[in-house]
Amino acid sequence: EMSEMSERSKQNVAHGLAWSYYIGYLKIVLPRLKKLMEEFSRANPNVLARRETWKLHILVPLSCDVCDDLEKADSNIQYLKDLTETTLTRAGTKNRVYKHSLYAIRDEDNKLWHCAVEFATPLQSLYAMSQDECAAFSREDRLEQAKLFYRTLEEILKGSKECAGTYRLIAYEELEEAETHFLSREILWHLRQQCHEEYAICEGNHPRSPATTFSSTELNLQISESDLPGPLRSDCF
């Protein structure tokens, strides 16, 4: 009965997507990321100059509107090169390939910042569900599930020793009026913050985030605890 209630209220959708994303992808690729960055840096010493940004920057738009081509989404984002591929045999697929793309982000002073960045792909499933009548998944459901996905993924990654220091979650809500370089500014803010975090902590000076970027605390305020998926076994209490 509890399982059916949870299914009807769609409480387990984002929770399951976050765990699947972590187990099936992030837990595989993130522990290898720093080594790949190091190899690329040795071959290209002038590109990845800021070690603080040697992370996978994961974009989490709360609208779940994921674009396939970052360069088309924002002309200040330019594809640079792929990091070395990781090849593994997984679930019957021989030589499955995992790779990350490096991008050059141009700021307002025409300066280039380089980083690995990609969208959280499970958001595409949430968006597709809201477009499919069979899923009975409204736009409001999608927004709440996107917030829950972010919170769940953040908690999972915080508890993962293998992934510590290898990622940066960038949750944001697009402005109603589209801006040409909205996405690049969001990424640049996080890149700059990473470079100044140590100084900010020592000095007690915490930079403010853009209005569109959401912290975990803000998302906690927008989702009631009762909306979170609960245990389905009675012997857990």
For the whole prediction, is pTM greater than 0.85?
Answer: no
Cβ partners under 8 Å of residue 34, min gap 6 = 54, 165, 166
DSSP structure class, residue 201 = H
Pairing mode of beta strands 101-106, 77-82: antiparallel
What pLDDT score does 5 carry? 44
Phi-psi region of 146 (alpha: psi -120 to 50; beta: other; left: phi over 0): alpha
CATH node for 8-204: 3.40.50.12100
Q: Do 35 and 162 form a contact (C-beta atoms < 8 A)?
A: no
pLDDT for 43-95, tens place per residue? 998 888 889 999 999 999 999 989 999 999 999 999 999 999 988 888 888 88
For the record, the structure tokens of 67 come out as 């674009």
Lowest model confidence (mean pLDDT) among 98-107, 120-129, 165-174, 198-207: 198-207
What pLDDT score does 141 carry? 83
Instruction: Please report the sign of the dihedral spanned by the C-alpha atoms of residue 106, residue 109, residue 111, residue 114.
Output: negative
- DSSP assignment of 114-137 equals EEEEEE-THHHHHHHHHH-GGGT-
pLDDT for 133-155, tens place per residue? 666 677 888 888 999 999 999 99
Segment 159-184 mean pLDDT? 89
For the record, the structure tokens of 100 come out as 């990350």
Question: Torsion over CA of 55, 150, 31 and 47, rounded to 10 degrees?
Answer: -10
Q: Do 142 and 126 form a contact (C-beta atoms < 8 A)?
A: yes
Quote the CA–CA distance of 149 and 146 in Å, as a whole number.
5
Confidence of residue 6 (pLDDT cuts 50, 70, 90): very low
Q: H or E element: which one contains 27? A: helix 27-43
What pLDDT score does 121 carry? 95
When the pLDDT of each residue in the chain is averaged and rounded to a whole number, the result is 82
Q: Which residue matches tokens 């220091």?
A: 165
